[in-house]
Amino acid sequence: MEARIHQTDPPTGCGRWTWWAWCLWLPGCVGFGALLAWVAFEVGHYFAPLLVYPLMIGFVLGAAIVALMRISRMGHRPTAWLAVGFSVAVAVVGQHYLSYRSALDEAQRREEAILHHASVAADDLIVGELAPVSAGLGDYLQRQADEGRTIRSVLGTYTLHGSMVWLSWALDGLLVLLPAVAMVAFGLRRPFCGQCGSWYATRRAGQLDARSAGRLAELFEWPLENAVHGAHFRLMSCDRGCTPTGFSLSWGELPAAGQPGVVWLDDARRNRVVEILDQACKQPRNPGSPPNA
């Protein structure tokens, strides 16, 4: 019978605050928010399904922030949340700003066209046709709200006015924020090693036969009956293995009753588990059984 082993404490590492994260990484995320605002504004002329469109923008933004965290090994969680706040604000307000700039350009084009026409036939100039110059983004949005926003949905077409338009814009912003927050919160669930500055990643995974799965289940005092059909294992650690190693066993369709999703192992305990995994690799496998990577 195997001597039983128990898990150690999970890694609690958090990336350190660094100048580069503030001076490069954070502005990079905000820059991506601005780029996304431009893409969303341009695409929105052709395809912008109600409610779904801002959700899509939020998902893309959240996924990009998580990817940037992983690629650049940025593990300082408060900085990550700041990036979410700033980039969502830029992505949402940026679309209104681009709409404002577009309206200004259009007004200028109309004004030039009228002046050109007037130079050809001065008597035709109607001063009242000159487009009013907006006093700024706030003034433009207020005029947009007063003119009304048309909402087309499967339930019908509605036109909102005044404060309801502002409310609909706030809802759009919230629908961008929520998926971005959810994606980043999910991304931050992965442990980060503060010592070598790397995110945890799966280092080894594969399928185990019933005998090896039973040995591991016995080690961790998990129900042995789960192991009769074998198991899928996963080992995860930081780049240099300086903090506890995460280990998980899943039993296919069976619920993992009475066992944690991931157990955390120190060096000695990890070596015991790796020894069993290595022995499982050496055993001849049934033809067609999945490889033990």
Residues at the site binding Zn ion, with contacts judged by CB under 5 A: 193, 195-196, 238, 240, 242
Nearer to Zn ion, 215 or 269 (CB): 269
Residue in this structure with the two tokens 């192992």, named with its chain if needed? 265
- Pick between residue 238 and residue 263 the one whose CB is nearest to Zn ion: 238
Rank residues 29 and 193 by Cβ distance to Zn ion and give the closer one.
193
CB of residue 243 to Zn ion, shortest distance in Å: 5
**Minimum distance of Zn ion from residue 197's CB (angstroms):** 7
Contact between residue 227 and residue 218 where contact means Cβ atoms under 8 Å apart: no
Q: Which residues, other chains included, contact 279 with Cβ-Cβ below 8 Å and sequence gap of 6+?
A: 212
> Cβ 240 to Zn ion, closest distance in Å?
5
Nearer to Zn ion by C-beta: 137 or 242?
A: 242
d(CA 173, CA 164): 14
> Which one, of 209, 201, 265, 267, lies nearest residue 233 by Cα?
209
Q: What is the DSSP string of 77-108?
A: HHHHHHHHHHHHHHHHHHHHHHHHHHHHHHHH
Cβ closest to Zn ion, residue 183 vs residue 238: 238
CA distance 114 to 122: 10
Q: What is the rounded CA–CA span in Å between residue 164 and residue 148?
A: 9
**Max CA separation in the chain (angstroms):** 105
CB of 13 to Zn ion, least distance (A): 8
- Closest contact distance (angstroms) between CB of 200 and Zn ion is 9
